[in-house]
Structure 1
Amino acid sequence: MGRARVCVLGSANMDLVVYAERAPELGETVTGRRFVTVPGGKGANQAIAAARAGGAVTMVGSVGGDPYGRQLRAVLDDAGVDTRALAEVAEATGTAHILVEDGGDNSIVVVPGANGTVHGPAPGLEDALSGAHLLLLQLELPLDAVLAGARAARERGVKVVLTPAPARPLPADLLACVDLLVPNESEARVLTGKDDAESAARALAETVPEVVVTLGADGARWLRRDGAGEHVPAPSVQVRDTTAAGDTFVGTLAVALGEGRPMEQALRWATAAAALSVGQEGASTSMPARARIEEFGAETFGAETFGAESFGAPFDGGASER
């Protein structure tokens, strides 16, 4: 089949990134070694990752009419993302203030800015969903906008993939629209109260058709409501910055599923892309192109297991099980 068509409804931030040996304790000052500004936001990150992985991607959201907003739009455009539904509003562009420790761990404070102005059905969303295989959602926009997006996609037969970050309790009416939930370990614990990834995945699979819990250096755990599932280990790589790993994983996973790949293979694509991203600094700047994903994935998992050709029909998300 043709290219995966992915719609992303989400945040666009400018990441203000400080690199330091370690994070300060409360009330403490530490000296950083480097400061950079990098286009980011979970929505924009997932859109760029999906576009670089080969998807036809549309971004829906809002930025300000300031230099950060113009830069974000330019970066998305350069990645091949359709930004006609990325509105310009009076509010300042959102920012994310990120501290990256030398070991690769990070902590983030997000100021929503223009992202906080997106409410209800976002302008341009209906057109963006036309012909899409999947809608990617996160929780950096107001919840009413996320819910409206999920409902609109559900009504049009577009499969809904939700990254529940920042973690918060999820209302039942949102979960009812979700085909695939992709939390990391800490988000899965917040959502379920379970201490381990396996128990959390099983609890979440009772609420949505499929769940993938990302496990950092341990890879990812997939579980379907009917009990099918798999653990995909992560390749061993040198870690420089984990900031974009989760968004790279989700964006690439969406493209692989939109191309009709079975979940087992899509997970290997996503895991390979995420492993490549942690070897580079920054968010959008660390996301690999499709050719590199294919090369690294074939080396890591074996060419036949990884696969570079497209498969049958696009992702059905287990919707028939609802």
Structure 2
Amino acid sequence: MRLIQEPSAMQQLARRWQRRGIRIAFVPTMGYLHEGHLSLIRVARRHAGPRGKVVVSIYVNPTQFGPHEDFTRYPRDLNRDLQLCRAEGVDAVFAPDDQAMYPGLSEGRYSTYVVEEKLSNLMEGASRPGHFRGVTTIVAKLFHLVLPDIAVFGAKDWQQVTIIRRMVADLNFPVRIVVAPTVREPDGLAMSSRNTYLTPEERQQATILFRAIQFARNRVRQRPTPAGQLRRAVARLVASQPSARLDYVAFFDSDTLQPVHTVQPGTHMALAVFIGKTRLIDNDRL
């Protein structure tokens, strides 16, 4: 397994693979890998095929964090991540630093961004202004450097996946986006690197996100429900946990992300909840 830290070296390697007709499957991550990430790597390996290459990027992207978010304390452990990637048969890990990816950012000289202007204004985009500008910019840069045929993302970040698909279509990236299912703990909590922030008591309360999805799913199986009514019911359920504070809950079309007025089986649901100081997200089709 190769560890690559220079963008030019990553691109040169990818070009050599391309010239040899080798398929590249790519998994972009912010590191501190868990079973959810490893499941994406396994999906990438299946799509790459026996002759293909799997590349994992490990980079905590500063431009997708707001000024009061957790960029500086986001968990990092590159050596551990490299061991996990090696055990999964990853061919190359691309782990650049900020200066390599955003030359002059700290001095205010970096000024080029990729912006999706419609889907990014909803849900996470409304709660975290500028977040998706950072996401689309770094993913576009990584696509240019890794030159993947296939990129694998997790369904846990459904809005992100939808925005990246739109970017790929609108900007003619020659990349096929593959979405892998959310991986959950036995009690339903979606796996996330941020789960490590939770105290034992908060960890128990964090299951309220998945329980809220299950509650909504059971409700609409009985009868279609007005979105406002269901939103209020979910808010009451979340408020039953002393450490939980609802940021938003949304009911929408899976493909367009447009809100629906009536929630029924097949509607997509997403929510963000603060558990103590830790902000967690989850989503699923009802």
TM range (shorter): under 0.3
- Looking at secondary structure, tell me which structure has more helix per residue: 2
Length-normalised TM-score, structure 2: 0.28
